[in-house]
Amino acid sequence: MHSRLINWFKFSSPATFYPLAGRLVPWFTWGAVLLLGVGLYLSFFVAPTDYKQGEGYRIIFIHVPAAWMSMFLYLVMAGWAAIGLVFNTRLSAMMTSSLAPTGAMFAFLALWTGAFWGKPMWGTWWVWDARLTSELILLFLYIGFIALKSSIDDPRRGDRAGAILILVGVINIPIIYYSVQWWNTLHQGSTIKMSGETSMDEVMLITMLIMTFGCWSYAFATALSRVRCIILERERGTTWVQELIEKEEGRGA
């Protein structure tokens, strides 16, 4: 009712967002292919060998962007969750559920590549470093959200319960991060300080940024394609989806 007053809300209707997402997906897909292609080339062939860490350090070009994206996507989800709870928009819950698998994937990727980095650098696959531990907890939060969503059959309840869980999680994240950091400094003996980022080469920095934008594009391409599926599934009873199907069938015949 009130949504007509604010033009911005136009895109929060799944019927208008569906074609918009459809137009955006190819852009993000090609953006991701291009940026990740260039980024990977730079990280393997152009970026100089690190004088301390040798060739193995190159994994940070995927590790760091993945870690950033996993945190960024959780914040994006929290934003959508808050919008969904306050304005009761259908699209926001669809966005949170379409972002979650990608976020979880990046969190997992960050941990996986972290382990691969840790083995040659620290001599062990896993170190209870504050950042690694926080990343692990972030992965748990993603998995919890996905598990909750998948065990609730009623979509309305699932949407709102998921939103509450994300918001509770987002309030907790700083506390968790802070406590893990404290815990980590208390047990200083077993950890090794990370180094390298302060004295970063310019080429390395540019490569890292390109990789980050590549991951960002990838995240949005997958999230938007996924949200299109979710929209169709959720809105299959509505007339606009019926019309869309008829149009598609007409084109196919």
Partner 1 sequence: MLEVHQLQCVRGDRSLFSNLSFTLSQGELIHLHGHNGSGKTTLLRALCGLLEPTAGSILWNGESIRLLREEFAAEVIYIGHKGGIKGGLTAIENLQIAAQLDGSPITTAAGWRALEEIGLYGFEDLPTKVLSQGQKRRVALARLLVTRAPLWVLDEPFVALDKDAVAQLQGVIQNHIADNGMVLLTTHQEVNLTRGEVRQLALGGENHRD
Partner 2 sequence: MIKTLWTVVQRDLTLALRNRSDLISNLFFFIIVVSLFPLGIGPELETLRLIAPGVVWVAALLASMLALERIFASDFDDGSLEQLLLTPQPLPLLVVGKILAHWLVTGVPLVMISPILGIQYDLSSDVLWILVVTLLLGTPALSLIGAIGAALTLGLRGGGVLNALLVMPLTIPVLIFGAGAVEASASGLGGEGHLYMMAAILVVSLVFAPLAAAAALRISVE
- Strand-pair partners of 33: none
Residues 6+ apart with CB under 8 A from 91: 11, 12, 13, 14, 17, 227, 231
Shorter beta-carbon distance to partner 1: residue 153 or 249: 153
Shortest separation between residue 154's beta carbon and partner 1, angstroms: 7
The partner in contact with residue 155, picked from partner 1, partner 2, none with C-beta cut-offs of 5 to 8 angstroms by kind, is partner 1
Binding mask 142-181 for partner 2 (x = CB under 8 A): -xx--xx--xx---xx--xx--xx-xxx-xx--xx-xxx-
The partner in contact with residue 101, picked from partner 2, partner 1, none with C-beta cut-offs of 5 to 8 angstroms by kind, is none
The partner in contact with residue 103, picked from partner 1, partner 2, none with C-beta cut-offs of 5 to 8 angstroms by kind, is none
Sign of CA dihedral 92, 94, 100, 106: negative
User: Cα dist. 21→69, 170, 208, 221, 222 in Å?
Assistant: 20, 26, 27, 9, 11
Given phi > 0 = left and psi -120 to 50 = alpha, else beta, which region is 196?
left
56 binds partner 2 (CB under 8 A): no
The partner in contact with residue 151, picked from partner 1, partner 2, none with C-beta cut-offs of 5 to 8 angstroms by kind, is partner 2
* Residues at the interface with partner 1 (CB under 8 A): 153-156, 236-237
Shortest separation between residue 98's beta carbon and partner 1, angstroms: 20
The partner in contact with residue 38, picked from partner 1, partner 2, none with C-beta cut-offs of 5 to 8 angstroms by kind, is none
Rounded Cα distance, 59 and 44, in Å: 9
107 binds partner 2 (CB under 8 A): no
The partner in contact with residue 186, picked from partner 1, partner 2, none with C-beta cut-offs of 5 to 8 angstroms by kind, is partner 2
Rounded Cα distance, 87 and 80, in Å: 10
In order, the DSSP letters of 115-163 are HHHHHHHHSSS----HHHHHHHHHHHHHHHHHHHHHH--SHHHHHHHHH
Shorter beta-carbon distance to partner 2: residue 57 or 145: 145
Pair 77, 223: CB distance under 8 Å: no
115 binds partner 2 (CB under 8 A): no
Please classify residue 230 by burial: count the beta carbons closer than 10 Å to its beta carbon, then call 0-12 exposed, 13-18 middle and 19+ buried.
Answer: middle
141 binds partner 2 (CB under 8 A): yes
Query: Footprint of partner 2 on this chain (CB under 8 A)?
Result: 137, 140-141, 143-144, 147-148, 151-152, 156-157, 160-161, 164-165, 167-169, 171-172, 175-176, 178-180, 182-183, 186
